[in-house]
Amino acid sequence: MRRSDGNLLFKWIWLLLLPALICSCNVPDPVPTATMTPDWTATPVPPTATPLPTATPTPTPLPAWLEVAPEDLKDTELVIRYSLDGKVRDTLEDLITLFNEENEQGIVLKAERAYSMDELSKITAADSTETTDLIIAPSAYLRSRDADGSLLMELSGFLNYEGLSLSGDGIEPIMPVMLQTENRDGKYFSLPLWTEPAFLFYNKTWAIELGFPDTPANLAEFAEQACAAGKASYTEKDEKKHGTGGWIVSSDPEDVISWLLVFAKNQESVGELLHSDAGEVFTDTAAWLRNLLDNGCAWNSRVNEPYDYFANRYALFYSGTYSDAERQFNAFEQSENNAFDNWDLVVYPARTSDSDQNPRIYADGTSIAIIKGEDAKRTNAAWRFIRWLYQDTHAASLALAAPGWAVQDSDEITRLYRNSGEDKLYQTLSYRQYQVNSEADENRITDLLILSDGFAYVFNPSAKPESIPDIWEQIGSAIAEVNNVNQLSETTVPESSNQTGVNDETQP
């Protein structure tokens, strides 16, 4: 009995354990249980150590010449040098006297005039024993003297410093188109005082008598009037007039650049017009003007000065600046037959009749600069004179005396020009916005002289119109050689430029 009960108990135990044994032999891979990450709340922990201090930027110290106090400038003596003549020299010296009398800092400015640009160069040379603080000279000249920026003070620090910048205190800002002429990659080593724009002198009275009531607006109209004047000269009893009329040929640099700007299809800058890629512009310009000459619509003057020729109707047009105006007025007063002729300063004509582009006017500028020095007081005082010079109408008075365009614009400056008696110059003020940035670099004076010489040869009787592309290549090669760069390996000359350039629209 006991054995039977034992077997039964064993069976029951076996039946109870069998499922567990079966399950233990076939265990599935465990499935991980997702554990919820608790949202931690940041609880500030009291620091156990002293925190590091926050770094404070160290202010950049001002240059010494900006930290000079006005009261420290008392009795500071400066020397300004220039090579100017006539009315503009007298006006500058009057302004210097006025500055010495009224500047609150007690600065004393001494004027030293050089009698030539060569003398000015020697006096302001780095090894000169002469003291110079300020210099007034043509902008291109200053760049040629200071190609590396070692002679002249860079003025951006003053221009950007509140309280000493050229704004406020009765100072009109320099017009952007004027200031840009002094921009050297964002730096300013001089500032413009005035510019002298290039124009065409045009005998309005004679043009009306020839049947042209309107000023020529484009090249075709210019040629038509110039050829009509040339034809009229051949009918004169005075044989001296035969072969004259139209435009007096000029190869002065400002005149050449003015014509090139007319023919620049892609709005090339002045600098680009001296590059080899401007070959097409040069050949187009020179061929068209040479054609005027060949057709009796332009002529080579026998003397250097055009005033008497223009006043006596030997020419309908000539190229010049307003600095020629005084002598032109005098020439008309002395003319026996044409004393009452009315003449105008007109912009160079547009390239085509359907051109809607604004005129592009070339102008040379005269600027003021500070010579570098070790004395912070003298540098600061020199800038205060410059700032005083741009107050009210001081600089504009100097520009008017030059005579040229003022570089600032205001109602007061406009009134100054309107009341000056220089009516023809006053009438051109609205054209200032069209001045082309001359972008003068250290080689510009030399480059323009080479261009001028080459352009003059185009009108030499021994030169042939078909040789104009060769003349341009020689100009480019000479510029490259003088500027110490590689010889021009390629000159852009269109096939059409190999023509003689004869154009029916210039036939008399």
Contacts of 463 (CB under 8 A, 6+ apart): 457, 471
Please say if the pLDDT value at position 22 is more than 50: no
Number of CB atoms found within 10 A of residue 61's CB = 8
Residues 211 and 336 in one domain: yes
Task: Assign 3-class secondary structure to 146-204.
Answer: CCCCCCECCCHHHHCCCCCCCCECCECCECHHHHHHHEECCEECCEEEEEEEEEEEEEH
Q: Return phi, psi of residue 153, to 5°.
A: -75, 135
Tokens of 357: 């582009």
Residue 181 in domain: yes
Start-end of H helices in 269-410: 279-294, 307-311, 325-334, 376-389, 394-401
424, 322 Cβ separation under 8 angstroms:
yes
pLDDT above 50: residue 217: yes
87 with 100, same domain: the answer is yes
pLDDT range class, residue 276, cuts 50, 70, 90: confident
Q: What confidence tens digit (pLDDT) does each residue in 474-506 have?
A: 999 998 888 765 333 333 333 333 333 334 444
pLDDT of residue 51: 52
Q: Give the integer Cα–Cα distance in Å for 128 and 130.
A: 5
Supply the range of the domain harboring residue 143: 64-195+363-434
Whether the predicted pLDDT of 432 surpasses 90: yes
pLDDT on residue 488: 38
pLDDT for res 126 = 82
Contact yes or no for 311/338 (Cβ under 8 A): yes
Candidate from 246-260, 403-417, 428-442 with smallest mean pLDDT? 428-442
Q: Does residue 162 belong to any structural domain of this protein?
A: yes
Mean pLDDT calculated for residue range 231-243: 93
Average pLDDT over the chain reads 85
Which residue, of 380, 404, 434, is where some domain finishes? 434
Query: Is 101 in the same domain as 160?
Result: yes
Domain co-membership, 349 together with 233 = yes
The secondary structure of the chain in percent helix, strand, coil, rounded to multiples of 5, reads 45, 15, 40
- From 238, 191, 195, 243, select the one nearest 508 (Cα to Cα): 243
Q: Which has the closest alpha carbon to 313: 388, 210, 438, 404?
A: 210
Query: Where residue 221 sits, what CATH number does that domain have?
Result: 3.40.190.10
DSSP state of 361: B
Which range (128-137, 154-163, 346-355) has the least confidence?
A: 346-355
Place of tokens 């004179």: 385
The residues that bridge with 322 in the sheet, in sequence order, are none
Same domain, 478 and 389: no
pLDDT in tens, 127-139: 888 999 999 999 9
Chain centre distance of CA 47: 63
Residue 506 tokens, joined = 């210039």
Chosen domain end from 375, 400, 434: 434
135 near 386, Cβ under 8 Å? Answer: no
pLDDT at 155: 97
CA angle, 433 then 439 then 445, to 5°? 120
Task: Quote the Cα angle for 253-480-497, to 5°.
Answer: 65
